[in-house]
């Protein structure tokens, strides 16, 4: 029997992890979970409920609100997943530039991370899952069978995110602001004390700066098939 595995995809902001993870999950028939969407939903809740003092998260108030924040994913008829915050579809709202600016300091709060990690681990219980984020291969699923660490230059990542925002009609930010946001999130994610962004020792590096989506997909499928072969051979 083909084993069900856990695939952890980590990497920097806007490195294309989600496109990779979503596509791979579709190809191999696994469930896709976007862990970043959960942190974005918490940040959106905090913004909506004025849990910021100036632009700094009000840590005590956010921690006290955690029991009131319920995050779910809803499978849409086209196969995509939408994030629900207390039952409300917030998929579009969580991708706004405002949330991108607020999310990393919120995601650095240890209690927020503990709550989200517990949720992520529960979703992975049955395996057969692809999850993307910053700490999936290190903290959430340190025993994941296949771990990938994705990178691309900051310029390339900002270009992609800028194009994405423009395509969505979000014209409030300049390329320089998007680049600044990418660099600032990299910095916060790498330097926070609780499960910082770090490549797992057993992760496979992928730099997709110069890869087309098709090239990326074939590489991912090859890595998946190799892993399954390896696991079935050693059984």
Pick the closer one to ligand CDP by CB: 18 or 208. 18
CA neighbor of 47 nearest in space, from 14, 69, 73: 69
- DSSP conformational letter for 172: S
Pick the closer one to ligand CDP by CB: 193 or 226. 193
Total residues belonging to the chain = 235
Residue 35 interacting with ligand CDP (CB under 6 A): yes
Binding window for ligand CDP (CB under 6 A); candidates: 19-27, 60-68, 102-110, 226-234: 102-110
By CB under 6 A, the residues from 172 to 191 that bind ligand CDP are 185, 189
Radius of gyration of the chain from Cα atoms? 17
Angle at 162 between CA 52 and CA 19, to 5 degrees: 95
Q: CA of 204: how far to CAs of 11, 39, 83, 150, 153, in Å? A: 11, 25, 28, 8, 17
Q: Binding residue for ligand CDP (CB under 6 A) from 8, 47, 71, 107?
A: 107
Beta bridge partners of 2: none
Residue 57 interacting with ligand CDP (CB under 6 A): no
Beta carbon of residue 181, minimum distance to ligand CDP (angstroms, whole number): 9
Residue 14 interacting with ligand CDP (CB under 6 A): yes
Site string for ligand CDP, 201-230 (x = CB under 6 A): ------------------------------
Q: Cα–Cα distance between 20 and 213 in angstroms, integer?
A: 8
Residue 91 interacting with ligand CDP (CB under 6 A): no
Angle at 54 between CA 50 and CA 55, to 5 degrees: 85
Q: Which residues sit at the interface with ligand CDP, rule CB under 6 A?
A: 13-14, 17-18, 35-36, 39-40, 103-104, 107, 133-136, 185, 189
């Amino acid at each position: 029997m083909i084993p069900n595995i856990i695939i952890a995809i980590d990497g920097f902001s806007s490195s294309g992890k989600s496109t990779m993870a979503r596509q791979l999950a579709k190809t191999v028939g696994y469930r896709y979970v976007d862990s970043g969407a959960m942190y974005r939903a918490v940040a959106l809740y905090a913004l909506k409920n004025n849990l910021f003092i100036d632009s700094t998260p009000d840590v005590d108030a956010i921690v006290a609100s955690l029991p009131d924040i319920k995050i779910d994913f809803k499978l849409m008829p086209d196969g995509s997943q939408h994030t629900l915050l207390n039952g409300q579809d917030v998929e579009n709202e969580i991708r706004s530039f405002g949330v991108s600016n607020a999310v990393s300091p919120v995601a650095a709060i240890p209690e927020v991370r503990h709550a989200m990690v517990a949720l992520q681990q529960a979703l992975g219980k049955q395996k057969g899952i692809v999850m993307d984020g910053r700490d999936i291969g290190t903290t959430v699923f340190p025993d994941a069978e296949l771990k990938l660490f994705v990178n691309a230059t900051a310029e390339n990542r900002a270009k992609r995110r800028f194009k994405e925002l423009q395509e969505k009609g979000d014209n409030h930010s300049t390329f320089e602001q998007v680049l600044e946001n990418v660099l600032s999130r990299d910095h916060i994610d790498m330097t926070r004390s609780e499960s910082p962004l770090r490549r797992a020792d057993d992760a496979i590096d992928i730099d997709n700066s110069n890869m087309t989506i098709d090239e990326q997909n074939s590489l991912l499928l090859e890595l998946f098939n190799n892993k399954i072969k390896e696991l079935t051979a050693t059984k």
